[in-house]
């Protein structure tokens, strides 16, 4: 029975990594690189095409995986978000905000503003930049829901420890795969940063029994 559970957990982890998260994004990124010659979108039209291809396929893969696990979409946002959850979540947000401020120093600005400036550079007008930015944040919402899926699936198939460790490594540390677009040292530091982020975030989700906690932490962090 234990061996069967281990096999199921391993299969689930591979499915999530390949078909929902990194594998899916790298394949789509490679397709667009082949068409445009760059990993990074140079125009808003290319960005919108790529991000919505990722969004829709990731969402579809997530829904199919939920059905395979016998879960439903509500399970990805289960739990309450009261005063205690807010205080714990805010503490994590402030911790990583302090790290970002220390990293950027005097050039720090809210991430949502930095992202908007990027979209302005690649867009022919402000309205398209706003649409492009909104699409990016839809991507972030879907991303955290899919990491919550990794958490609930691991919790069901393997228990509490895999529920925290799988997001820590498969989502967190796997950010080192950004080495395809950033220098190796920067990719490694990003991987360590996101590993600690995932460990604290999903450790807190386990403690509070609330998956609204990771959603709050992630979206606020991506705005600040």
| Structure token pair of residue 207 | 């403690």
Radius of gyration of the chain (CA): 18
How does pLDDT run across 193-222, given as a tens digit for each residue?
999 999 999 999 999 999 999 999 999 999
224 residues of the chain, pLDDT tens digit each? 667 778 899 999 999 999 999 999 999 999 999 999 999 899 999 999 999 999 999 999 999 999 999 999 999 999 999 999 999 999 999 999 999 999 888 889 999 999 999 999 999 999 999 999 999 999 999 999 999 999 999 999 999 999 999 999 999 988 998 888 889 999 999 999 999 999 999 999 999 999 999 999 999 999 99
Percent of the chain with pLDDT over 90: 88
Q: What is the pLDDT of residue 3?
A: 73
Is residue 157 within 8 A of residue 147, CB to CB? The reply is no
Alpha carbon distances (Å) from 86 to 8, 44, 81, 156: 34, 35, 7, 26
pTM of this structure: 0.95
Q: Per-residue b/e over 59-70, b at no fewer than 16 CB within 10 Å?
A: bebbeebbeebe
Q: What is the pLDDT of residue 10?
A: 94
Rounded-to-integer distance, Cα 190 and Cα 179, Å: 10
Q: What is the pLDDT of residue 181?
A: 86
Q: What is the pLDDT of residue 1?
A: 60
């Amino acid at each position: 029975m234990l061996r069967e559970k281990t096999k199921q957990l391993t299969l689930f982890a591979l499915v999530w990594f390949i078909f929902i998260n990194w594998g899916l994004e790298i394949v789509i990124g490679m397709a667009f690189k082949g068409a445009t010659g760059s990993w990074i979108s140079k125009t808003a039209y290319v960005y919108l095409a790529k991000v919505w291809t990722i969004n829709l396929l990731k969402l579809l893969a997530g829904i199919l995986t939920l059905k395979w696990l016998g879960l439903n979409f509500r399970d990805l946002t289960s739990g309450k978000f009261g005063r205690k959850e807010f205080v714990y979540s805010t503490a994590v947000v402030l911790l990583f905000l302090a790290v970002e401020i220390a990293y950027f120093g005097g050039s720090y600005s809210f991430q949502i503003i930095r992202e908007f400036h990027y979209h302005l550079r690649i867009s022919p007008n402000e309205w398209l930049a706003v649409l492009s930015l909104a699409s990016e944040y839809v991507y972030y919402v879907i991303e955290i829901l899919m990491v919550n899926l990794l958490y609930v699936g691991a919790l069901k198939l393997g228990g509490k420890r895999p529920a925290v460790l799988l997001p820590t490594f498969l989502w967190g540390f796997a950010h080192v795969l950004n080495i395809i677009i950033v220098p190796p040292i920067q990719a490694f530091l990003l991987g360590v940063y996101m590993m600690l982020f995932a460990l604290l975030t999903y450790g807190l989700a386990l403690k509070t029994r609330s998956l609204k906690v990771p959603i709050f932490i992630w979206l606020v962090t991506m705005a600040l």
